[in-house]
Structure 1
């Protein structure tokens, strides 16, 4: 695993400026084409300052990828808690979660651009960096969703043999249509279309996974 931080003595505000600049440059240029010179210019610091904080491009990329992934994962986790911790109307809460989750991804800005760059250059991203990004982001969100679904099954609202598969199916049915139409946030999708995809997806999901006792 690549090391995230170098333990340098540079100022924290410089490190934050470099991380913001790297997020923008990697999102715009991709991993291969992005250079430490371009990142230094974006951050308005010297290249030596960049290397005082990050040993090399891979370390910098891993650092910003994990940070951005964790931020979006935390935002989605908060949405899951809001809509799934105290379910009153199962269908509506699942639809609302799907809509808000899609909006979170579509409005991710530079965070979203970095995710698109990773997906576009997946074969060029170091394997340990890709694995760490997936584990901190998409996989973490799916684990969290599976935990919530297990709680809903314990309440008699959902029924399944595999919580992880149920979470995967929910994501495929309610989110990936929006992701594909927007090219993972690069293009806007009308609110009405996001809502339609969410509602249709939840309807299909509940036909498979709603517990019989839930009606």
Structure 2
């Protein structure tokens, strides 16, 4: 297949994100994606074999874009930390930026809502996408973010700011602690309560890894 011009590729990725997030994989159509992208169906079929191929490209592209924004948050909040006294407040500020008031990831990141809808679609269609596509999606997005958070934690451990034997495991534990919420999924939580849950999750993490 010939190579897409960057502008058309971006248009198809944006249109595909909009349609898959709105309609889901099963109901989405190439015609709808073409309309949302401002290109012809012929252009899409010229560069993608079928709808699953478009979906695979969209989820990898979206994951990469969101990961860049998440890594920027990590860099802004956590890279400047130099002393043990700064750790807890930096982690708390990062988590408050990383999560919204409902405990959903990617607070304030462009197209975060659409991306979360895509994550649901990936889980639903995992059996049809194949392990290679799932692995590429993971490495483009969540895997990169986890690796960056692990790198920060490993650096803090080397500097003696925290006691961490396995930085990747610590990154997973941190993510679970700060995203914990009371009640069933999608329950309303006030801004104050959300901040309190984050603060307590961070405090548990820090206490568990104190030197």
Sort the TM-score into its range (normalised by shorter chain): 0.7 to 0.9
RMSD: 2.4
Deviations 1:13-67 (A, max 9, x none): 3332222111111112222332212212322432112112323223222222111
Specify which of 56, 68, 72 is matched with residue 62 of structure 1: 56
Where does the alignment leave 5 or more consecutive residues of structure 2 unmatched? none
Which whole-Å CA distance do the structure 2 matches of 1:91 and 1:32 have between them? 44
Give how far 1:152 is off: 0.6
Q: Do the aligned partners of residues 12 and 81 (structure 1) sit closer, same or farther apart at CA in structure 2, a change above 3 Å counting?
A: closer
Show the 5 A alignment for 1:161-172.
161-172=165-176
Q: Do the aligned partners of residues 128 and 190 (structure 1) sit closer, same or farther apart at CA in structure 2, a change above 3 Å counting?
A: farther
Give how far 1:80 is off: 1.1
Specify which of 153, 159, 172 is matched with residue 155 of structure 1: 159
Give the 3-state SS of the residue equivalent to 1:105 in structure 2: coil
Contact residue 146 and residue 164 of structure 1 kept, 8 A: yes
Where does the alignment leave 5 or more consecutive residues of structure 1 unmatched? 1-5
Give how far 1:164 is off: 1.0
Matched, 1:96 2:103: no
Which whole-Å CA distance do the structure 2 matches of 1:176 and 1:63 have between them? 31
For 2:106, the equivalent position in structure 1 comes to 105
Q: Do the aligned partners of residues 196 and 131 (structure 1) sit closer, same or farther apart at CA in structure 2, a change above 3 Å counting?
A: same
Q: Number of aligned pairs?
A: 200
Q: Do the aligned partners of residues 67 and 177 (structure 1) sit closer, same or farther apart at CA in structure 2, a change above 3 Å counting?
A: farther
For 1:191, the equivalent position in structure 2 comes to 191
Specify which of 13, 22, 31 is matched with residue 19 of structure 1: 13
Contact residue 16 and residue 33 of structure 2 kept, 8 A: yes
Deviations 1:65-122 (A, max 9, x none): 1111111111111111112112152111011111111146144132232223223433
TM-score by length of 1: 0.82
Which whole-Å CA distance do the structure 2 matches of 1:196 and 1:124 have between them? 40
Give how far 1:210 is off: 1.8
Show the 5 A alignment for 1:13-92.
13-87=7-81, 88=83, 89-92=86-89
Contact residue 30 and residue 121 of structure 1 kept, 8 A: no
Give the 3-state SS of the residue equivalent to 1:109 in structure 2: helix
TM-score by length of 2: 0.83
